[in-house]
Structure 1
Amino acid sequence: MTLLSDHFRRDATVGSLMGLAIGDALGTTIEFASRDQVPEVTDLVGGGPFDLQPGQWTDDTSLALCIASSLAETGAYDPIDQLERFVAWRDHGFMSSTGVCFDIGYQTSHGLDEFLRTGNPYRNNDNDRSAGNGSLMRLAPVALAFTESPAHAARLAADSSRTTHPATECVDACFGFGWLIAVATLTRSKEAVFAAATEVATMIKSPTIAAILGGSFKDKSRDQISSSGYVVNTLEAALWALWVTESFEEGAVLVVNLADDSDTVGAVYGQLAGAIYGIEAIPKRWIERVYARELIEDLALAIYSRGGNFTVAQSAATVA
């Protein structure tokens, strides 16, 4: 694996977090819509089910920024601190683009209630059927902070899922995707990312996630790709869009227009594509319009500037 200079890695870090927010903001316009039943989205125009202003984003970005701010301010992967910020978002609108919490998923809300009741940052794997995409959509900051070791980044990304989404498919999806974001940040190479995906597939317990990381999506048509809130479908849609396109913009437009859970497939695609292509390859018109652009950039740079010097809080050791 050929590693790149600090300049390229900085642009990958900012690109990943900005890509997440832009994919989210782009997709929310047709969130919950049926595919090809609404006009194609090609720009940040707002609207959608939450009647947002152009460039405003949803819970995907809010939760990612909660994690990013925790890492930047504490210098550690600290699941308790992250969950406290999630609670502040839910209850007080912390890191919301509108000042209030909206679009919160059931598993996330249930996980926060459980945390407040027990104080345990990690949930038990007691409902493997609730494999939503709510942890996959927010994980980029964890992988970006520990990018020096893709294996370590993957393990912590998996642990970050357990705070709210302990189902095996969710944990394995975050493990694999965290590894890929780290590789993307280190190499800026789509080829290296897909080679890593094939390798990581052999480490995955879940057969559905292993198949996707192994490339089962590569020969599928658009009609064969689902963009539902099921974590398996979200991961597949994001990797498929990356595989069949050659630029950040092309892939982002393709993936969000799959509709349904369009903001989250956009956010997941944006995390990885933003790391590969870098901030300089994301359309300037999107960057200039996205809500809280400077905050997103500052948090990404704060993570990058630590040069991988993050610790793991003692509370993280309580993982099941």
Structure 2
Amino acid sequence: MTQQQRYRGCLLGLAVGDAVGTTLEFKPPGTFTPIDNMTGGGPFALKAGQWTDDTSMALCLATSLVEKQAFEPADQMARYVHWYQDGYLSSTGSCFDIGNATREALHRFMTDGNPFAGSTNPFTAGNGSVMRLAPVPMRYRPTQKRAIHLAVESSKPTHGAKTAVSACHYFAALLIGALNGESKETLLAPHYTPIPNHWQQNPLAPDIAEVAGGSFKKRQPPDIVGSGYVVKSLEAALWAFHHSHDFREGCLLSANLGDDADTTAAIYGQIAGAYYGENGIPSKWRQILTLRSTIESLADQLFELADS
């Protein structure tokens, strides 16, 4: 498998997971028949292959990195506002799904122009920044310390809570490893990092450190939940990755947790897509994915920028 296929898998996997999971978004466990395919529907009555805010924000971030050829938080936020107000990079042409922390941060940015508008209140530690993370470690992968630092910075425009930022810190390390072709056993070993002694010098928030220590290997539903809280969301995505043998199986495991199913599956899709590569994602799911060629092109451009 080529590294470029891992790049495509990473971004396509995010969008595919989002599109699969939206069917069960907001549905509590035990209130639905588990899904076994990409079917659309859900609370926003989407067509199969359409996706939600997770992918829109990831594409805004990727487009900013590609077009500016730099990490510019103000430009990232301007694109998020463009999506929020005008449906830029939406699968339907409008913004129909947005988290509270993100909406409030965008309004603060529109008021004062400060791109680091994310609340630092611990109660705002949702999964809205880790769900869109992939483009940053994709772009900066060869310079691992910078990649991880900018992944942390990429959370702060909308999610400044320590735990949300820390989730991006750890997940960026995992994505770098997956893009570099590390084994699943290596990636899911306790406290994986591509940089020796990184966590000793840059400690994770305690709840994220527990996930990094392997909490997802010791728990099962109902202790694994598709929550909007970033700790439980990341734990659930890694649980699905650990307990599955191919992209499809893990994607359905993560989506069938219900609740914030689209985001659980979008987080899963980033690491699983990088690990299994684009051809590991079911071809029928890729074929019907909205804006597939745009997503593939952005992945290719991030790959070229990373290696330039």
Q: Same fold (TM over 0.5)?
A: yes
Q: 1:186 & 1:48 partners in 2: Cα distance?
A: 35
Corresponding residue number in structure 1 for 2:19:
25
Q: 1:201 & 1:239 partners in 2: Cα distance?
A: 19
Matched, 1:207 2:211: no
1:260: Cα distance to partner? 0.4
Residue correspondence of structure 1 range 273-288 to structure 2 within 5 A: 273-288=272-287
| 4+ residue runs over 4 A deviation | 199-202
Taking a change above 3 Å as real, the CA distance of residues 308 and 163 of structure 1, as seen in their structure-2 partners, is: farther
CA-atom RMSD in angstroms: 1.5
Which of 89, 97, 104 is the matching residue for 2:91?
97
Corresponding residue number in structure 1 for 2:155:
161
Corresponding residue number in structure 1 for 2:127:
133
Q: Tell me, which stretches of 5 or more residues in structure 2 are unaligned? A: none
Corresponding residue number in structure 1 for 2:224:
225
Amino acid in structure 2 at the alignment position of 1:41: I
- The C-alpha deviation readout for 1:74-99, integer Å capped at 9, x for no partner, is 11111111111000000100000010
Q: 1:255 & 1:134 partners in 2: Cα distance?
A: 17
Corresponding residue number in structure 1 for 2:74:
80
Taking a change above 3 Å as real, the CA distance of residues 190 and 149 of structure 1, as seen in their structure-2 partners, is: farther
Q: 1:125 & 1:297 partners in 2: Cα distance?
A: 32
Q: Determine if contact 2:56/2:83 at 8 Å carries over to the other structure.
A: yes
Q: 1:261 & 1:36 partners in 2: Cα distance?
A: 14
Amino acid in structure 1 at the alignment position of 2:305: R
Residue correspondence of structure 1 range 110-259 to structure 2 within 5 A: 110-123=104-117, 126-195=120-189, 197-199=191-193, 202=200, 203-259=202-258
Q: Determine if contact 1:201/1:214 at 8 Å carries over to the other structure.
A: no
Q: 2:190 & 2:296 partners in 1: Cα distance?
A: 27
Q: Determine if contact 2:51/2:91 at 8 Å carries over to the other structure.
A: yes
1:125: Cα distance to partner? 5.3
TM-score (norm. length: structure 2)? 0.94
1:9: Cα distance to partner? 1.0
Q: 2:118 & 2:221 partners in 1: Cα distance?
A: 36
Q: 1:201 & 1:240 partners in 2: Cα distance?
A: 21
1:217: Cα distance to partner? 1.8
- The C-alpha deviation readout for 1:207-263, integer Å capped at 9, x for no partner, is 100010111221212222011100001000011111111111110011100000000
Amino acid in structure 2 at the alignment position of 1:211: E
Corresponding residue number in structure 1 for 2:100:
106
Mean Cα deviation higher: 28-37 or 253-262: 28-37
Q: Determine if contact 1:188/1:275 at 8 Å carries over to the other structure.
A: no
Q: 1:177 & 1:249 partners in 2: Cα distance?
A: 21
Q: Determine if contact 2:102/2:118 at 8 Å carries over to the other structure.
A: no
Identical counterparts, % of pairs: 45
Amino acid in structure 1 at the alignment position of 2:34: E
Q: 2:292 & 2:86 partners in 1: Cα distance?
A: 21
TM-score (norm. length: structure 1)? 0.91
Corresponding residue number in structure 2 for 1:71:
65
Amino acid in structure 2 at the alignment position of 1:303: L
- Count, aligned residues: 303
Q: Tell me, which stretches of 5 or more residues in structure 1 are unaligned? A: 1-6, 310-320
- The C-alpha deviation readout for 1:119-148, integer Å capped at 9, x for no partner, is 221136541221111001001001100111
Q: 2:126 & 2:304 partners in 1: Cα distance?
A: 32
Q: 1:52 & 1:258 partners in 2: Cα distance?
A: 19
SS in 2 for 1:49: helix
Q: Determine if contact 1:176/1:201 at 8 Å carries over to the other structure.
A: no
Q: 1:91 & 1:49 partners in 2: Cα distance?
A: 20
Matched, 1:290 2:289: yes
Mean Cα deviation higher: 136-145 or 124-133: 124-133
SS in 2 for 1:104: coil
SS in 2 for 1:99: coil
1:197: Cα distance to partner? 3.5
Q: 1:223 & 1:259 partners in 2: Cα distance?
A: 11
